[in-house]
Every structure is written in C-alpha cells, then in structure tokens.
Amino acid sequence: MNEIKVIVSGHGGFASGIQAALSLLIKVPENWQFIDFTTGMSDQEFVQALGVAPFEETVFFTDLAGGTLYNVAATLAADAAQLQVVAGCNLASLMETMFQTFGNAHQLANALISTSHASIKRFDPNAPVSRNADSDDGI
C-alpha cells in the first residue's frame, strides 16, 4: 500500500460513487480521501475540504480535465512538485495502484495514467469469450 495521499474528487456524487465501488471490491487505504463537489460548494470550500499539508506527497484524481476541480488542484500543484493532478482515470486504475508502492506522487500519477490506458477495452463480438468457471460472485 502507498503512503502517498490520494484525493479522488468529482462533480456531484462522483467521488462517493467511486468510493462505494472500490469498497465493494477491496479495502480502501486510509490515506485515500473522496470529496464530492456538490451544488453550491465554492472553490474555497473545496480547497479547505482537500486539507493538503505542505510538502505532503499527494495525487489529486479529478473527474474531468479542465473542470473546476482539476483547475483548483492544478493551481495548488503548479508550484509544488509533490502534488500531482490526474484526470479521467477509471476504477480499474485506482484499484490496481492500491496494490503497488511508489516512491513519490509523480510515479503514482504516471501509473494511474498508464493503467487507465491499459484497462480501457472495447468488446469485440467476434473475439473468443473467456469464462472463469470458478467464479460465481459476478465480480
């Protein structure tokens, strides 16, 4: 598990939805935080909710590149090499990075991006389907 702080944020119930999905599948590390950006929440309230300590290795994962949350996190990270901002990752990338160790936030951010790319698949109806006969839990 990583000691790097991970903050997942998104519009509406995005972050709490990701948290619920992860919690269904695995134990979420204590250094992971989930913050929903709700209707009426100001940028300043969002910054306060982040609670990032100076010099703390942190990766911000936001739902949309260029969205309010991404822009706020990017403003914080602009002058702080220990803060990294990633947008558009997916559940698989978050889950996989929980089981890896990284030396710093930059390495974790790169892993999120790489794993996201690798986990995006398109169903091909002409490809052979592999079924795991031992799995009956639907996950």
Are 60 and 27 in contact, with CB atoms under 8 Å apart? Answer: no
Q: Where are the alpha helices (DSSP H) in the chain?
A: 14-25, 43-50, 68-77, 91-97, 105-119
Q: What is the mean pLDDT of residues 121-126?
A: 90
What proportions of the chain, in percent to the nearest 5, are helix, strand and coil?
35, 15, 45
Task: Return the biggest CA–CA distance within the chain.
Answer: 52
Model pLDDT, residue 56? 86
Model pLDDT, residue 133? 56
Model pLDDT, residue 136? 55
Q: What is the pLDDT of residues 53-79, one digit of tens each?
A: 767 899 999 999 999 999 999 998 998
Q: What is the mean pLDDT of residues 109-127?
A: 91
The percentage of residues in the chain with a pLDDT greater than 90, rounded to a whole number, is 60
